A and B are shown apart, each in its own frame.
Chain A
Amino acid sequence: MLSFIIRRMAVAIPTLLVLVVASFYLMQFAPGGPFTSERPLPQQVLDNIEAKYGLDQPTWKQLLDYVGGIVTQFDFGPSYKYKDRTVNDIIAQGFPVTLTYGTISFVLAILVGGALGIAAAIRQNSWLDYFAVGITIGAQVLPNFVMAPILILVFSLWLGWLPGGGWNGGQWDHVIMPVIALSTSYMASIARLTRSSMLEVLRSNFIRTARAKGLPDRTIIWRHALKPTLLPVVSYLGPAFVGMVTGSFIIDTIFSTGGVGYFYVNAAFNRDYAVMMGLTILLGSMTILFNMVVDILYAWIDPKIRL
């Protein structure tokens, strides 16, 4: 197990480095410096600004300073666009929002998707099963940028039940639609995975043995079938997490929730490279670490993987 963890880290650490170095050097390719404006600044002023942000240093030194700042002080540097704000301010403002609806969506997708999948598998070919399969097939082609407009159309414009956007400090009626829009397609995938996995497990020999012993259905499902059923679901958690992080771009754009996705897309339009790089590194390393944890969890549940 320990050797598996070490081997898995041997992938995660280079990945992190590649992410940081690649996004840093990509920024160096960007046309125009951050302080290029329509009215050219006097050379002296430009020199002063560059010295203030450390841009007069050689590139490798800038990279080292930047990474050093993140690692030692969790300091992502200043925003190039908004002179009075640092990237840290932006993270502090947007991250709690994204974290709130992201966590709710993630947990909801797992719980509801898992429950639906298990229920459908236990009562295979019943109306519940057909209902679940129908929903999962339909929801698969409803990504967040399709779900969100439809939700707003139905619940805000037609029915007027929920506000069409805004965050309002995370009041429940502002959270519902972002959560549904973000989690639906992942819920569907998890339900489909759980169902097919459960059906396969229920047909296996050790379950037949348990049946032959005369164990009640409930014991068979909870004690014996559940753990092997959840294996493929665990391996799907990584992609689902990545999908939800990037999905927050859409959610923040459509619902104006003001999470990090909003700042990321905004920075992309404003060419605010400092904000883009900071958020890329923060969210990117979160996903890389999350994937690592999921893989280790997977190996812990299923010893076959450790080999």
Chain B
Amino acid sequence: MSLANLNPQQPKTAEMAEHMAEVKGRSLWADARVRFVRNKAAMVSLVVLILVFLFAFFGHLLTPYDNETIDWNVLGNVAKVGQPSFENRHYFGFDDSGRDLYSRVVQGTQISLMVGIVGAMIAVIVGTIYGAVAGFVGGRIDNAMMRFVDIAMSIPYMFVLILLLVVFGRSIGMLFVGIGLTAWLDMSRIVRGQTLSIKNKEFIEAAVATGVRTPTIIRRHIVPNLLGVVVVYATLLVPQMILTESFISFLGLGVQEPLTSWGALISQGTSTMNYGTLWQLFFPLAFFVVTIFAFFFIGDGLRDALDPKDR
């Protein structure tokens, strides 16, 4: 190829470059948002989830009853006179002890969501730091850290959780500790894997070659690239935490009276369904299932939106 042939190309390339500059670049996140908004199941789930959250925060404003007062006229006769009704403003009816079930469900929703989100947050923070350190430092330390995770992961955690709750007393605080103790393990593995693969990418090499300092590399290049995975996994972790909490509370080992949660409410509804008070099972069950569904769909939607492989 001669120079003469190349020359006419040059103005064209320059023109193209000018055009390129005019097109506004879209960031990874803007791109992901577009894709997420297009995902109908995820968008519907997002709306549902916002409604559930609003219910948890402001639901108590809609009822004149609180979650502790026992209506002695109803107690002992719940199956006959305790049905859900809009006239007496007991929207969800009464629970088995004659308390307003609507306020109980509001309270249960608050606690279940809180356990889910705080549990996931513990897992995300501890898991990300642990995984990123292991992946970035590498070598023998990485090996030891990950071997520890291997061992901790193969201990059946539900037994440990129940043991902890029995030995140190059944309380919400202990529930957080127990759930947080095990939930970060998966996260640390995922983050470590991701850190390892990013560490060896060309743009990190380029950054190192141009003399960027290590903390800046971590902040500007490693963490933003980890964020997608972490966000997706955290969204999928929340329903898992809620499931674990409900499982424990269903057995009666988790959240204790006068507090309640979806698991505890479902358990109460189950124990009384022989008496024909099905609304006590239906309402908490519906909230539980709908919320878990919503979280799963949003997690899936986020994964599709943030997964670079898809492009």
Q: Write the residues of chain A forming the contact surface with B, with a CB cutoff of 8 angstroms.
A: 11-12, 14-15, 18-19, 22-23, 26-27, 29-31, 137, 140-143, 145-146, 148-150, 152-153, 157, 164, 242, 245-246, 249-250, 253-254, 264-265, 268-269, 271, 273, 276, 280, 283-284, 287-288, 291
Q: Which residues of A contact B207 (CB under 8 A)?
A: none
Q: Pick from B151, B156, B239, B243: contact of A242, CB below 8 A.
A: B156
**Contact of A268 with B266 at beta-carbon distance under 8 Å, contacts A245-B156, A283-B156, A288-B155 already known:** no
Q: Which residues of B contact A268 (CB under 8 A)?
A: 162, 165-166, 251, 253
Contact yes or no, A11 B163, CB < 8 A = no
Measured between C-beta atoms, what is the minimum distance from B90 to chain A in Å? 22
Q: Which residues of A contact B158 (CB under 8 A)?
A: 242, 246, 249
Q: Which residues of A contact B65 (CB under 8 A)?
A: none
Measured between C-beta atoms, what is the minimum distance from B49 to chain A in Å? 14
CA distance A254 to B151 in the complex (A): 32
Contact yes or no, A143 B243, CB < 8 A = yes
CA distance A287 to B251 in the complex (A): 21
Contact yes or no, A157 B274, CB < 8 A = yes
CA distance A141 to B167 in the complex (A): 31
Measured between C-beta atoms, what is the minimum distance from A293 to chain B in Å? 12
CA distance A264 to B165 in the complex (A): 13
Number of inter-chain CB pairs below 8 Å: 108
A to B CB contacts below 8 Å, 26 in the list: A11-B151, A11-B154, A22-B155, A22-B160, A26-B163, A29-B168, A30-B166, A137-B296, A141-B293, A145-B246, A145-B247, A146-B289, A150-B285, A157-B273, A246-B247, A250-B247, A265-B251, A268-B165, A268-B166, A269-B252, A276-B162, A276-B163, A280-B159, A283-B159, A284-B156, A288-B155
Q: Which residues of B contact A253 (CB under 8 A)?
A: 250-251
Contact with A along B148-183 (1 / 0, CB 8 A): 001100111011101111111100000000000000
| A286 (CB) vs chain B CBs: closest residue | B156
Q: Pick from A12, A23, A145: contact of B250, CB below 8 A.
A: A145
**Contact of A15 with B246 at beta-carbon distance under 8 Å, contacts A157-B273, A250-B251, A268-B253 already known:** no
Tell me if B292 counts as interface (CB < 8 A to partner A). Answer: yes
Interface size on B, residues (CB 8 A): 40
CA distance A31 to B166 in the complex (A): 10
Measured between C-beta atoms, what is the minimum distance from A25 to chain B in Å? 10
**Contact of A149 with B281 at beta-carbon distance under 8 Å, contacts A142-B289, A276-B166, A283-B156 already known:** yes
CA distance A12 to B252 in the complex (A): 32
Contact with A along B285-298 (1 / 0, CB 8 A): 10011001100100
CA distance A254 to B263 in the complex (A): 13
**Contact of A15 with B154 at beta-carbon distance under 8 Å, contacts A141-B296, A149-B266 already known:** yes
Contact yes or no, A29 B151, CB < 8 A = no
Measured between C-beta atoms, what is the minimum distance from A199 to chain B in Å? 16
Q: Which residues of A contact B253 (CB under 8 A)?
A: 265, 268-269
**Contact of A143 with B273 at beta-carbon distance under 8 Å, contacts A26-B163, A242-B156, A280-B159 already known:** no
Q: Write the residues of chain B forming the contact surface with A, with a CB cutoff of 8 angstroms.
A: 147, 150-151, 154-156, 158-160, 162-169, 239, 243, 246-247, 250-253, 263, 266-267, 269-270, 273-274, 278, 281, 285, 288-289, 292-293, 296
**Contact of A29 with B167 at beta-carbon distance under 8 Å, contacts A149-B273, A153-B281, A291-B154 already known:** yes
Q: Which residues of B contact A153 (CB under 8 A)?
A: 273, 278, 281
Q: Which residues of A contact B169 (CB under 8 A)?
A: 31
Further contacts, 16 of them, CB under 8 A, given A249-B251, A288-B154 = A15-B151, A18-B151, A22-B160, A29-B168, A30-B167, A137-B296, A140-B296, A141-B293, A143-B247, A242-B158, A249-B158, A250-B250, A271-B166, A284-B155, A284-B159, A288-B156
Q: Which residues of B contact A284 (CB under 8 A)?
A: 155-156, 159
CA distance A33 to B150 in the complex (A): 34
Contact yes or no, B166 A15, CB < 8 A = no
| A149 (CB) vs chain B CBs: closest residue | B270
| A254 (CB) vs chain B CBs: closest residue | B270
Q: Which residues of A contact B166 (CB under 8 A)?
A: 30, 268, 271, 273, 276
Q: Which residues of B contact A141 (CB under 8 A)?
A: 239, 289, 292-293, 296
Contact yes or no, B163 A146, CB < 8 A = no
Measured between C-beta atoms, what is the minimum distance from A257 to chain B in Å? 15
| B155 (CB) vs chain A CBs: closest residue | A19
| A246 (CB) vs chain B CBs: closest residue | B158
| A241 (CB) vs chain B CBs: closest residue | B156
| B267 (CB) vs chain A CBs: closest residue | A145
Contact yes or no, A246 B289, CB < 8 A = no
Measured between C-beta atoms, what is the minimum distance from A106 to chain B in Å? 16
CA distance A264 to B161 in the complex (A): 13
Measured between C-beta atoms, what is the minimum distance from A296 to chain B in Å? 13
Contact yes or no, B156 A149, CB < 8 A = no
| A140 (CB) vs chain B CBs: closest residue | B296
Contact yes or no, B155 A26, CB < 8 A = no
| A268 (CB) vs chain B CBs: closest residue | B166
